[in-house]
Every structure is written in structure tokens, then in C-alpha cells.
């Protein structure tokens, strides 16, 4: 089963693709989508939509996992994140790919065993569980791989 993990953001959306075979996982690819922040919001969302569509067409995942939105102190930031997240949920749905959603604490607990793990702990476990992940991977891409792993572990007994 090929899993696409997505860490939504308007400035940086991380994506990561892994392959699950039984209870083993293999890293395939990861990256970030960085819409031009000089563009109007609608154009940035369109750029996110198109770039994510390209990732899906290239990697053809069987399933997708997205991090749920947490509430920021700044309501404007939360609203913009929600708009980006809407695009991130919509694109796989358009391609008929099932989407799972996980809270940040669910992801951290699944990957590290601790629901309030630090970012560096999550990154270390991503590199431990997926042996061939490049050392210098962008943080949003590493988070997306953690989201994909969480989805794979949560569904380990389904397939």
C-alpha cells in the first residue's frame, strides 16, 4: 500500500510518500510545496492545488493522511491554515483517494510513544523507521512522513 502523508500549510505544505508491505515501511519520496507568498490568497491556494495534484499523479498513492488543524492564538493564521487544509483534503478526494486525519498528538504518540514529543524526536524516529530518508530533509516533509507512518501504523492490521 502506498501512503501519502500531508502536513498542510499556506506557506509550506509538506508531503511524503511511503510504501507499506506487511508491517514494514519504505521511504519513496518527500518534499514541500511552497506557494509564492507574494501572490493573492486565491492564487496561492490554486498553486497548492496544482502542485499537490502533480504529486498525486506522479506517486499514485492508495491512501492519504492529513494532520488535523490545531488552533493558533492568531485567528487570522488559523483561518489561512484552514483554507490550505481544505485544499489539501480536497485534492486526494478529487482523485478518489481515501483520506485519514490525525491530530498532532496522535501522530507524535504513534511515532515516538509520547504525545507531546519534540520535533527533533519525531524527526529522529522518522529516520529510524525509514532507513533511506535523506539527512537534510525539510521539517515539513519530515512531518509529512511522520503523518504517513502514523496512518500506516494505525491501519497495520487492516491489510
62 has catalytic annotation: no
CA dist 67 and 107 (Å) reads 8
Which of 67-80 are b and which e, b meaning 16 or more Cβ less than 10 Å from the residue's Cβ? bebeeeeeeeeeeb
Which of 3, 1, 15, 2 has the alpha carbon at shortest distance from 88? 15
CA dist 11 and 144 (Å) reads 15
Choosing from 7, 68, 101, 123, the catalytic residue is: 7
118 has catalytic annotation: no
37 has catalytic annotation: no
Choosing from 36, 67, 101, 135, the catalytic residue is: 67
Write down the number of H helices and E strands in the chain. Answer: 5, 5
Choosing from 47, 62, 135, 140, the catalytic residue is: 140
Task: List active site positions.
Answer: 7, 67, 140
Amino acid at each position: 500500500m502506498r501512503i501519502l502523508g500531508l502536513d498542510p500549510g499556506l506557506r509550506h505544505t509538506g508531503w511524503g510518500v511511503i510504501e507499506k508491505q506487511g508491517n514494514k515501511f519504505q521511504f519513496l519520496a518527500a518534499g514541500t510545496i511552497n506557494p509564492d507568498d507574494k501572490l493573492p490568497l486565491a492564487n496561492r491556494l490554486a498553486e497548492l492545488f496544482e502542485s499537490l495534484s502533480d504529486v498525486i499523479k506522479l506517486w499514485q498513492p492508495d491512501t492519504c493522511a492529513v494532520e488535523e488543524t490545531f488552533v493558533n492564538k492568531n485567528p487570522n493564521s488559523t483561518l489561512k491554515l484552514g483554507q490550505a487544509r481544505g485544499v489539501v483534503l480536497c485534492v486526494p478526494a478529487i482523485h478518489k483517494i481515501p483520506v485519514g486525519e490525525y491530530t498532532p498528538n496522535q501522530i507524535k504518540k504513534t511515532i515516538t510513544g509520547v504525545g507531546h514529543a519534540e520535533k527533533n524526536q519525531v524527526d529522529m524516529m522518522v529516520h529510524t523507521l525509514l532507513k533511506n530518508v535523506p539527512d537534510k530533509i525539510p521539517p515539513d516533509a519530515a512531518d509529512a512522513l511522520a503523518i504517513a507512518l502514523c496512518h500506516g501504523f494505525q491501519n497495520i492490521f487492516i491489510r
